[in-house]
């Protein structure tokens, strides 16, 4: 079974600085998708960025980018120029492209932005 591990329960970063959230996953599949979701205090789940495993190029969405290392099964999220609105719980997630398509979530990293 696939698993997703986020080893940092909490992190803090100074406003305008850069922070990297770590994620590792375990799978025997070769085709899958990876996601980062953001959950602000409103509790809404918001898709931040996604990565297809077959693509070597790292995904980027404005200030958010990922470092996808397929061989190492690592998928970290980098947030540049951190803003107060980035404060949230961030979940790393995995979705198979081969079997059932449920998304498996990590336990999350709570990110604090220090003014």
Distance of alpha carbon 100 from alpha carbon 20, whole angstroms: 30
State the minimum distance, in angstroms, from the CB of residue 104 to other proteins: 7
Where on the chain is the footprint of other proteins (CB under 8 A)?
Answer: 33, 35, 37, 42-47, 50, 52, 91, 93, 95, 97, 100-108
Distance of alpha carbon 26 from alpha carbon 58, whole angstroms: 19
State the minimum distance, in angstroms, from the CB of residue 1 to other proteins: 11
Is the CB of residue 2 less than 8 Å from the CB of residue 104? yes
State the minimum distance, in angstroms, from the CB of residue 54 to other proteins: 10
DSSP 58: P
Query: ∠ at Cα 85 (3, 23), nearest 5°?
Result: 20
Cβ closest to other proteins, residue 43 vs residue 115: 43
Cβ closest to other proteins, residue 29 vs residue 81: 29
Of 40, 29, 63, 67, whose CA–CA distance to 51 is shortest? 67
Cβ closest to other proteins, residue 66 vs residue 93: 93
State the minimum distance, in angstroms, from the CB of residue 17 to other proteins: 25
Cβ closest to other proteins, residue 14 vs residue 107: 107
């Amino acid at each position: 079974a696939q698993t997703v591990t986020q080893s940092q329960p909490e992190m803090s970063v100074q406003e305008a600085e850069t922070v990297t959230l770590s994620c590792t996953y375990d799978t025997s599949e070769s085709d899958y998708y990876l996601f980062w979701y953001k959950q602000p205090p409103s509790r809404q789940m918001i898709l931040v960025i996604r990565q297809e495993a077959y693509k070597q190029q790292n995904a980027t969405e404005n200030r958010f980018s990922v470092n996808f290392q397929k061989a190492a099964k690592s998928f970290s999220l980098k947030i540049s120029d951190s803003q107060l609105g980035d404060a949230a719980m961030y979940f790393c997630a995995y979705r198979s492209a081969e079997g059932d398509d449920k998304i498996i979530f990590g336990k999350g990293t709570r990110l604090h932005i220090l003014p």
